[in-house]
Structure 1
């Protein structure tokens, strides 16, 4: 395998999805790439964040997996740069000792994370789940029954179009990641109804076995920050301490 190699055995037709892998550990790159190819994915591998950023921006994959700890440009900075340009689905790889990095990763827009050492089966399952959430599941996923995008949601100044992954607040666009979108959608579907953290995680991570409570708090914090960038008085997402969150229609 060559560093910063372009697409590996990519097919132009069909439902083959391309996964970008960014990690300075060549053993991980090789092992994960081989496993993904065996599952029908095409892979692109990068051991350097700067080279990965250039390639991802010029020719976006369907999903990316970033390691956090890398020289020159770490995964946090790489994701920050990517988020300036797109809502590319991203999974972070973190070590068990890097809980702060994990939380900060969600703050800058990661969709999911997996701690090292990790199971290849778990990583592949998370990749398939995230692809389904953005409507890029394979024919195998379709046969299993992938959900169709819901109807347009209009709640006061909020308008959400799941089919187009578009969010508007007072006619101004708000760019959300896949996970942020699904959390907000779950809240906006039933204004005034308190949703627990577990309920919100079930909406955003329907295929995951377990997601930490602090994960939803990090996502909510980022959603609020994004809406306040277009309306500094935004307060439609209410916190009910000890219970969860709700959306205030109006």
Structure 2
């Protein structure tokens, strides 16, 4: 991997031993690795250079990693992977809801961690939006209510043609629902069919992703026009949906 093609990773953890371990292991895999022990150092790196992925501890000594991840997501679209030593379900839900793209518990297996990082970077590269926000007419797209879901480029464009940021899980869930308008899916079926929900998923994950999607595509998330709830059964996408 040439120097200019190396991906830059930013490790944010207040444990020096963890930072050294990750920096050494990821550098050996060909990545450029930067490190930060707090939010201040993290922002200095993000403002100084292009970072391709942030690897962040959920529980920093004096800061909330979830809040930092949420702040990063408002300004940047790179993947965020959260690390934590606590594994209760509430933390997983919060991590997903506040913009993490993946989640691993400490102690972690380095081989699995590097494999997940590689997968996130690959997906992020495939989904990178063009600067012009133009839609290729040869792409497979789904059109609904002024929205365009580009299945080929894996992008969502709003009514003005602007690119709307979706995580892998959000896009995969929306793709399944929009490709089958008016069909009711249980949470289990959505987990099975969504390519982005392939690691450590549970029923509540689907609910969180539905909530996030409604906030992004619905004029009023409390009274959704597109993603409907069928009480006791699951969710469905209300058509019509037009394919180009």
TM-score scaled by structure 1?
A: 0.77
Does residue 16 of structure 2 align to residue 18 of structure 1?
no
5+ residue gaps, structure 2? 128-138
5+ residue gaps, structure 1? 1-8, 138-149
Does residue 143 of structure 2 align to residue 154 of structure 1?
yes
Tell me the CA shift for residue 189 of structure 1: 2.0
Tell me the CA shift for residue 45 of structure 1: 1.2
Tell me the CA shift for residue 66 of structure 1: 1.0
Partner Cα separation in structure 1 for residue 207 and residue 179 of structure 2: 19
- 1:174 touches 1:227 (CA, 8 Å); kept in 2? no
- 1:103 touches 1:215 (CA, 8 Å); kept in 2? yes
Greater alpha carbon shift after TM alignment, 160-169 vs 75-84? 160-169
Residue 60 (structure 2) aligns with = 70
Residue 124 (structure 1) aligns with = 114
Partner Cα separation in structure 2 for residue 10 and residue 73 of structure 1: 36
- 1:158 touches 1:167 (CA, 8 Å); kept in 2? yes
Tell me the CA shift for residue 198 of structure 1: 4.2
In the alignment of these two chains, the number of paired residues is 226
Tell me the CA shift for residue 48 of structure 1: 0.9
* Off by >6 Å, runs of 4+ in structure 1: none
TM-score scaled by structure 2?
A: 0.79
Does residue 196 of structure 2 align to residue 205 of structure 1?
yes
Partner Cα separation in structure 1 for residue 39 and residue 62 of structure 2: 7
**Root-mean-square deviation (CA), in Å?**
2.8
Which of 91, 94, 97 matches 2:81? 91
Classify the secondary structure of the residue corresponding to 2:75: coil
Residue 6 (structure 1) aligns with = none
Tell me the CA shift for residue 95 of structure 1: 2.7
